[in-house]
């Protein structure tokens, strides 16, 4: 088998035409709110979002075809459309130095907290000067059978989790494994379902929280301000919004992959509705890269690319599997899942023929 068989389809970012959409900036502790002629930047504070900068674009007139593209894999938001003076495009980018505003089509006149600035095309203007985590390359992809540009307006109005989870998963590389305490809240209901591995109900629990507990593009909120009537608090009083965001992204990742030391657990809490899918280009905490493919609710194939010499233990809902090193003359060997596998730096390993 060639490794190319697991190459993902082209990536298409989500987009919105709705002014005022709140968007979590991947790799940061900040949120932006986008409008055709304005931009607001918020920071996560312990129990609320704090407005830290407000930008106005005084020369941008009414827009035609105004769109904001959200690319969490490359960590930028691109705003574009046709205004009175022509086509306008700019990006809010996450870099190693912070969050930057970058005009892409023309010079941009902007008023920031009452102070006027002109940013030349191709230059950058700092919005947040603080270190940010940059994306992995290649970036992880969760594929659940839907490969099209995601209309966030439609998804947020009538969400289906096979469209929501791949977008949610793009934020999970910034999340780390951690223990979470459940409580009598909507967030606590997800934690409890996850701990009990309630695969028949966990997806609907995630969907309920997404509808009631998110504002805009994966921005957690404390209150049911839409009065949807869920009847219990959304979040624990003592839990910060940043902790909620990290915790929920951790659980999304752990539906498909969980790690403890050199132990890799494949599909530990796969929702029963997600009968087939692929997780590609995921980087483990150990540094190795892994691809996972499943069908009919069971793991079918695992491809491991070792980044260093060492031992790896793979666990899954199976007893045995076959193992071979790709691009070599090694023959397949049958081994019991849960046993250690010795891997060598730079080598590709394929696990398939899983049996129960």
Which CATH homologous superfamily contains domain 259-355?
Golgi alpha-mannosidase II (2.60.40.1180)
Q: Is 9 exposed, middle or buried (0-12, 13-18, 19+ CB in 10 A)?
A: exposed
- Nearest residue to 345 via CA among 302, 306, 288: 306
Mean pLDDT calculated for residue range 2-22? 74
Q: What is the Cα–Cα distance from 333 to 199, expressed in whole angstroms?
A: 32
- 317 close to 329: Cβ distance less than 8 angstroms: no
Per-residue model confidence as pLDDT tens digits over 196-205: 888 899 999 8
- 150 close to 68: Cβ distance less than 8 angstroms: no
Distance of CA 284 to the CA centre of its chain: 15
Per-residue model confidence as pLDDT tens digits over 220-237: 988 888 888 877 788 888
Q: What are the CA-CA distances from residue 2 to residues 7, 142, 175, 279, 354 (Å)?
A: 10, 20, 31, 17, 19
DSSP 253: H
pTM above 0.85, yes or no: yes
- Interior/surface letters 15-52, b for 16+ CB within 10 angstroms, e for the rest: bbeeeebbbbbbbbbbbbbbbbbbbbbbbbeeeebeee
> What pLDDT was estimated at residue 223?
84
Provide CATH 2.60.40.1180 ranges for the chain: 259-355
> What pLDDT was estimated at residue 231?
72
> What pLDDT was estimated at residue 4?
42
Q: What is the Cα–Cα distance from 199 to 39, expressed in whole angstroms?
A: 40
Per-residue model confidence as pLDDT tens digits over 138-164: 678 899 876 666 899 999 888 889 889
- 169 close to 252: Cβ distance less than 8 angstroms: yes
Per-residue model confidence as pLDDT tens digits over 64-86: 899 999 998 888 999 999 987 78
């Amino acid at each position: 088998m060639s490794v190319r068989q697991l190459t993902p389809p082209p990536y298409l970012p989500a987009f919105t035409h709705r002014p005022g959409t709140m968007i979590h900036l991947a790799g940061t502790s900040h949120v932006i709110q986008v409008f055709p002629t304005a931009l607001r930047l918020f920071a996560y504070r312990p129990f609320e979002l704090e407005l830290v900068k407000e930008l106005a674009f005084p020369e941008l007139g009414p827009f035609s075809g105004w769109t904001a593209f959200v690319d969490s894999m490359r960590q930028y938001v691109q705003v574009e459309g046709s205004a009175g003076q022509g086509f306008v495009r700019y990006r809010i980018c996450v870099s190693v130095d912070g969050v930057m505003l970058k005009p892409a089509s023309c010079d941009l006149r902007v008023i920031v907290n009452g102070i006027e600035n002109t940013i030349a095309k191709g230059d950058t203007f700092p919005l947040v000067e603080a270190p940010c985590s940059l994306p992995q390359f290649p970036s992880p992809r969760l594929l659940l059978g839907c490969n099209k540009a995601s209309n966030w307006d439609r998804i947020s109005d009538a969400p289906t989790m096979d469209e929501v989870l791949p977008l949610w998963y793009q934020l999970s590389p910034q999340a780390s494994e951690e223990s979470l305490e459940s409580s009598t809240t909507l967030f606590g209901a997800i934690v409890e379902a996850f701990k009990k591995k309630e695969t028949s109900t966990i997806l609907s629990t995630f969907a309920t929280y997404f509808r009631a507990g998110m504002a805009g593009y994966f921005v957690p909120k404390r209150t049911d301000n839409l009065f949807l009537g869920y009847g219990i608090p959304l979040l624990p009083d003592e839990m910060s919004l940043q902790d909620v965001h990290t915790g929920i992204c951790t659980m999304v990742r752990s539906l498909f992959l969980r790690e403890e030391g050199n132990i890799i657990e494949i599909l530990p809490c796969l929702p029963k509705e997600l009968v087939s899918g692929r997780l590609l280009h995921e980087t483990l905490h150990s540094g190795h890269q892994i691809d996972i493919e499943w069908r009919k609710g069971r793991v079918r194939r695992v491809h491991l690319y070792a980044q260093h010499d060492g031992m790896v233990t793979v666990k899954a809902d199976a007893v045995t599997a076959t193992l071979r090193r790709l691009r070599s003359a090694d023959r397949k060997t049958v081994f019991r899942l849960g046993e250690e596998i010795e891997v060598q730096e730079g080598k590709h390993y394929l696990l398939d023929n899983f049996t129960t």
